[in-house]
Structure 1
Amino acid sequence: MKFHPPLIGVTTSIQSKTNDYCLRHEYITAIRLAGGLPMLIPPGEPNLNSVLEWVDGILFSGGGDLDPATYNGVDHPEIYNVNRERDRFELSLAQFALETDIPILGICRGLEILVVASGGKLVSHLPDEFGEEIIHRQAQSRPAEHNVDILPGTHLANIIGVGETKVVSWHHQAASNIPRGWRLAATAADGVIEALEHEDHPWAFAIQWHPEISLNDARQQRIFRAFIHTAQQRQMMLSQKAS
């Protein structure tokens, strides 16, 4: 039996000025390098079940901020690029996907989507609550670098190892609590939640930093290899059941 590379659905942003759908190329490159076949999923797809029937894994990508109304939060001057159509679509897709066994990876905004979809809340602007000892982004358009601590005994530690690792960071918001069903997998030195993993879902990780930007960091790329490998194993299992 011949198997195709696992098809990975990747959510996209919407450019507010042009209404173009867009996605940074690093997501595509990281998926391809790990052996996956990327497929872009723009907001607004009406049939979520059809989306999940087509793909072997879902990646919730980064981008603009969620509308604070989605998590009963407070508006803040630093909140930017809010798109309510994208919020509605991704929150619904996340809730639906978490009820299945499809592999899920959330990156940056993707972590925030998974947190809010699971009933959690967000910090509106990190410097207001955590100070600036750790810089999580240089400016709205510029990433930063800092260390995160991967916690022992977690599935994430099994993938990339325990202890400190340098990451590319590009966010001003984060989870303010750990929602039901998730557990902490990594933190920054200032206490910001940097990674969560689901306790019940077969493979669901939420990463606040940007491993896709660290294309030359073998440790970071293990996240994508594990993601694609799990999607491939699921694809093979479903194919064997169908035959």
Structure 2
Amino acid sequence: MGRGSAVLSGSESGPVLGLTTYLDRAQTGIWDVTASFLPASYFRGVSMAGGIAVLLPPQPVDAAAANRVLDSLDGLVVTGGKDVDPAAYGQARHPESDEPGIIRDAWEFALLTGALQRGMPVLGICRGAQVLNVAFGGTLHQHLPDVLGHSGHRAGNAVFTELPVRTVAGTRLAALVGESAKVRCYHHQAVDEVGASLVVSAWDADGVVEALELPGENFVLAVQWHPEESLHDLRLFAAVVDAARSYAGG
């Protein structure tokens, strides 16, 4: 196991963390269907850190249904995926932005709202950081190459870019990973205006926001990079699992 990993002993059971999923076209064998799915590295990160992962497929939902789901969870992980609908932050869609996934957006915003109201631990990953920012009234850069003049944050062809990031002193993230880290990125969008109450906890050399968190006792942290692609280092997964364990025991 990697740094910060947790080990379960005997018959102990870990906390239950819900992970949001894609809703998209999927092909397997002779089948070509719309499906809910998630790369296995996400839930491996949770299970390697001592948690129990359950998948939360996008579906039509209201606050009551989201809360019913949250009743069974100790933590929430909002995962990567397609771009958030720019209408959610008052913008028209850029030509390079994905076709909106309205069902997934509504589902994740409902789950996130309910989790925050409960004080439930939340970890956002890539798209998850953008969902968190928009939920707090923030906005996004819809296409970073327009802002930076290069596409270094998303090389294409499913190749992750390794970038150095520097954390902000005094933040939860800095306490977890130290002053700096090398991370794996694959994003063409990023936080622009930071949502109310959130603080930036990491930047990259281009001045792009690479992490956000909500100050206070509750664990609410989101990174623009993909920690599930570096499972030799479980510190972020271990942190949210540990927070979920405390939440469950509270």
Superposition TM-score, scaled by structure 1 size: 0.90
CA shift in 2, pair 1:48/1:3, >3 Å: farther
Find the counterpart in structure 1 of residue 142 from structure 2: 124
Q: CA deviation at 1:233?
A: 1.4
Q: CA deviation at 1:95?
A: 1.9
Distance 1:37 1:45 in 2: 25
Find the counterpart in structure 2 of residue 161 from structure 1: 178
Cα RMSD of the aligned pairs, angstroms, is: 1.6
CA shift in 2, pair 1:90/1:203, >3 Å: same
1:120-150 Cα distance to aligned partner (Å, 9 max, x none): 1111000101222x71110163321111111
* Residue 115 of structure 1 pairs with residue 133 of structure 2: yes
Superposition TM-score, scaled by structure 2 size: 0.88
CA shift in 2, pair 1:145/1:81, >3 Å: farther
* Residue 230 of structure 1 pairs with residue 243 of structure 2: yes
Give the aligned residue type for 1:22. Answer: F
Distance 1:28 1:89 in 2: 19
Distance 1:3 1:32 in 2: 13
| Secondary structure at the counterpart of residue 211 of structure 2 | strand
- Structure 1: tracts of 5 or more residues without a match: 238-243
8 Å CA contact retained: 2:191, 2:209: yes
Q: 2:192 aligns with which of 161, 172, 176?
A: 176
Give the aligned residue type for 1:4. Answer: S
Q: CA deviation at 1:81?
A: 5.1
Distance 2:216 2:115 in 1: 13
Counting only pairs closer than 5 Å after superposition, residues 35-114 of structure 1 correspond to structure 2 as 35-44=50-59, 46=61, 47-80=65-98, 82-114=100-132
8 Å CA contact retained: 2:22, 2:37: yes
Find the counterpart in structure 2 of residue 25 from structure 1: 40
Q: CA deviation at 1:37?
A: 0.5
Greater mean alpha carbon deviation, residues 102-111 or residues 36-45: 36-45
Find the counterpart in structure 2 of residue 240 from structure 1: none
| Secondary structure at the counterpart of residue 149 of structure 1 | strand
Identity, % of aligned pairs?
Answer: 38
Greater mean alpha carbon deviation, residues 15-24 or residues 201-210: 15-24
Q: Which of structures 1 and 2 has the larger relative contact order (alpha carbons within 8 angstroms, sep 6+)?
A: 2
Greater mean alpha carbon deviation, residues 62-71 or residues 193-202: 193-202
1:69-113 Cα distance to aligned partner (Å, 9 max, x none): 111123122212531110111112212222221000000000111
